[in-house]
Structure 1
């Protein structure tokens, strides 16, 4: 397992980038814009992590900017922790067998979400290529919020 990133939602991408890069000293290392989903993801790394982060070997801060206006209350601006695993089905099975709800099952063999006992959302991503879709995950519905 490897820690990947922490995601926070931002209301004003320019103001947030000014804070995190110009004032705080982080560096933008990659950006993904999704017109269909109407969002922009910006990944930032600390100075000592730049080389490793560019090669996806160090954790980053992910700024998520949703193009449609939304007020984030109750901590909704903090998104999730993300971890990459060798076998997403095995870790989800282990968690489920241990009484943890799989809030977003890995139907695609690539991504799942669970929550910690304190309600922190945790994204689980398959290392490398997605696994072939398999049951019980394919037909398992989402449960609660993730």
Structure 2
């Protein structure tokens, strides 16, 4: 996979969340004045060897309907409990605290990004 695209209403706020709170890096960013949008690619490593997120900011759009088909982005972290503590310290919105999956053993948590997209944190030793 190359990337997953998310439409965002405030690009700076989203870059801050994914880079400063979630620990990703801004890989590249480009404005498209003729199309009235900006693309920002972020991730935990370069695009050549990692799947990244494409944040799309349409300049004339202030709100999106997330719909009911979108689920979440999943990110593996070494320690879900520690990651949640770190995210809370940086102002992130934990909507499901770290703990075992209902009916399973995997440790997970959920964070909500500034546009309401869900990000799941999973431990590397997941069993479900």
TM-score (norm 1): 0.43
Bigger Rg, which one: 1
